[in-house]
C-alpha cells in the first residue's frame, strides 16, 4: 500500500509538470489571437467547444451517476462559479499584459491564496513553515511585476495605467479564484468524482455567461480562421491540460499544486520568443526568473516530502 501511495504522488508530480508545459505555449498563442479578437467572444467560443467535448465524451457515464451530481450540487456550483472567475480573469489581461507576467501573477497569487483560504475553510493539510516562507517570497515577486507593468517596462508598450491596473488586479483575482476552485475540485475528487466527471460539469456556467456577454458579436464566429484558432486554443489551453491537471489534483494536495504551478511562467517566457510582436525586457526576465527559482525550490521540497 505504501508503494502505491508513493507511485500515485510521483504520477501527480509528472502530471502537473506536463500541465505547465502544455499550457505555456497556449497562453502565448491566446495572447496573440486576442490582439484581433474580443476576449469575451474568444472566451465563449473556447468554452463552448470545451463543454461540448467533455459533455459528449462522458455523456453515458454522466447519466448513470446523476444521483452523485445531485448530492454534490453545492460543490459543483462553487466549482462552476470559481471556474468562471479564474478563466475570465485569465483571458482578459492577455490583451494588456504580456503572457509571462499574466501567468506569473496568477500562479504566484495561487499558493498565497491557497494558504489563506485553506486556513479559513480548515482544509490545509500537510502544510508546514516552509510553505509560508515560499508564499511570502512569491509575494515579493508579485510586487516586483506590478512595478514592471505600471512603469511600462514590460514587452507591452503604450498601455494606459488604468488598463494595466485593471488587468493586473484581474490576474491577482484569477489566482484567488483558482485557489478556491482547486479546494472544491479536490472535494469532488474525494467524493468519488473522476477527472472526466468533474470536467463534464465544470465549464457550463462560464459558457452560458460568456455567451450572454458576447451575444452581439457571435456573428463573427462564421470566420473559418477564427473557428480554427478557437479549436486550437480549446485543445491546447483547456481540454488536454485540464485532463492532465485533474489527474494531478486527484493525487496531490492543493498546496502542493500551488507551489509547483509557478514553474509555468518561465516556460511561457521562452514561448514568447515565437511571437515576433513581443520583446521581453530585462525587467520581465528578472521577475520571471525570481519566481521560477522560488517555485523550483518549493517543488523540490514538496516532492521530497510527499515521496518519503
User: What is the tens place of the pLDDT at every residue in 246-275?
Assistant: 788 777 776 677 777 767 777 776 766 666
- The arithmetic mean of pLDDT across residues 287-291, rounded, is 84
Alpha-carbon separation of residue 212 from 34, 45, 208, 251, 284 (angstroms): 19, 12, 6, 36, 36
Which residue range is the domain that position 207 belongs to? Answer: 2-306
Q: What is the mean pLDDT of the chain?
A: 81
Spatial separation of the C-alpha atoms in residues 272 and 270, rounded to whole Å? 5
Per-residue pLDDT tens digits for 111-156: 788 778 777 766 555 667 777 888 888 888 888 988 888 888 776 7
Per-residue pLDDT tens digits for 34-82: 878 888 899 899 999 999 999 888 887 767 777 788 888 999 999 999 9
Query: 59-86: string of b/e by CB count within 10 Å (b at 16+)?
Result: eeebeebeeebeebeebbebbbbbbbbb
Spatial separation of the C-alpha atoms in residues 77 and 82, rounded to whole Å? 9
Whether the per-residue pLDDT at 230 is higher than 90: the answer is yes
- The arithmetic mean of pLDDT across residues 271-292, rounded, is 75
Per-residue pLDDT tens digits for 172-196: 999 899 888 988 888 888 888 888 8
The confidence score (pLDDT) of residue 205 equals 92
- Are 182 and 252 within 8 A, CB to CB? no
3 state SS for 184-226? HHHHHHHCCCCHHHHHHHHCHHHHHHHHHHCHHHHHHHHCHHH
C-alpha cell at 165: 491596473
Work out how many domains the chain is built from and give that number: 1
The pTM of the full predicted model, rounded to 2 decimals, is 0.75
Whether the per-residue pLDDT at 299 is higher than 80: the answer is no
- Are 17 and 260 within 8 A, CB to CB? yes
Q: How many CA atoms lie within 13 A of 250 on its CB side?
A: 21
Confidence of residue 278 (pLDDT cuts 50, 70, 90): low
The confidence score (pLDDT) of residue 76 equals 92
- The arithmetic mean of pLDDT across residues 80-93, rounded, is 88
The confidence score (pLDDT) of residue 122 equals 62
Most confidently predicted of 1-5, 202-206, 278-282? 202-206
Amino acid at each position: 500500500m505504501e508503494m502505491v501511495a508513493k507511485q500515485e504522488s510521483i504520477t501527480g508530480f509528472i502530471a502537473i509538470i506536463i500541465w505547465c508545459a502544455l499550457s505555456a505555449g497556449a497562453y502565448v498563442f491566446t495572447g496573440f489571437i486576442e490582439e484581433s479578437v474580443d476576449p469575451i467572444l474568444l472566451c465563449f467560443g473556447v468554452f463552448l467547444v470545451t463543454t461540448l467535448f467533455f459533455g459528449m465524451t462522458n455523456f453515458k457515464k454522466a447519466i448513470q451517476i446523476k444521483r452523485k451530481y445531485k448530492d454534490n450540487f453545492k460543490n459543483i456550483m462553487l466549482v462552476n462559479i470559481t471556474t468562471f472567475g479564474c478563466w475570465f480573469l485569465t483571458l482578459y489581461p492577455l490583451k494588456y499584459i504580456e503572457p509571462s507576467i499574466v501567468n506569473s501573477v496568477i500562479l504566484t497569487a495561487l499558493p498565497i491564496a491557497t494558504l489563506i483560504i485553506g486556513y479559513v475553510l480548515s482544509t490545509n493539510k500537510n502544510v508546514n513553515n516552509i510553505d509560508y516562507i515560499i508564499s511570502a517570497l512569491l509575494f515579493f515577486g508579485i510586487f516586483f511585476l506590478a512595478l514592471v507593468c505600471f512603469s511600462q517596462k514590460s514587452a507591452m508598450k503604450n498601455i494606459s495605467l488604468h488598463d494595466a491596473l485593471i488587468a493586473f488586479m484581474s490576474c491577482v483575482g484569477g489566482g484567488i479564484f483558482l485557489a478556491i476552485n482547486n479546494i472544491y475540485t479536490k472535494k469532488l475528487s474525494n467524493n468519488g468524482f473522476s477527472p472526466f466527471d468533474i470536467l463534464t460539469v465544470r465549464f457550463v456556467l462560464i459558457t452560458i455567461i460568456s455567451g450572454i456577454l458576447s451575444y452581439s458579436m457571435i456573428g463573427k464566429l462564421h470566420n473559418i480562421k477564427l473557428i480554427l484558432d478557437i479549436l486550437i486554443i480549446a485543445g491546447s489551453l483547456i481540454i488536454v491540460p485540464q485532463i492532465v491537471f485533474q489527474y494531478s489534483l486527484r493525487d496531490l494536495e492543493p498546496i502542493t499544486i500551488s507551489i509547483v504551478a509557478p514553474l509555468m511562467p518561465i516556460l511561457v517566457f521562452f514561448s514568447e520568443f515565437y511571437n515576433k510582436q513581443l520583446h521581453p525586457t530585462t525587467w520581465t526576465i528578472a521577475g520571471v526568473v525570481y519566481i521560477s527559482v522560488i517555485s523550483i525550490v518549493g517543488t523540490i521540497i514538496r516532492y521530497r516530502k510527499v515521496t518519503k
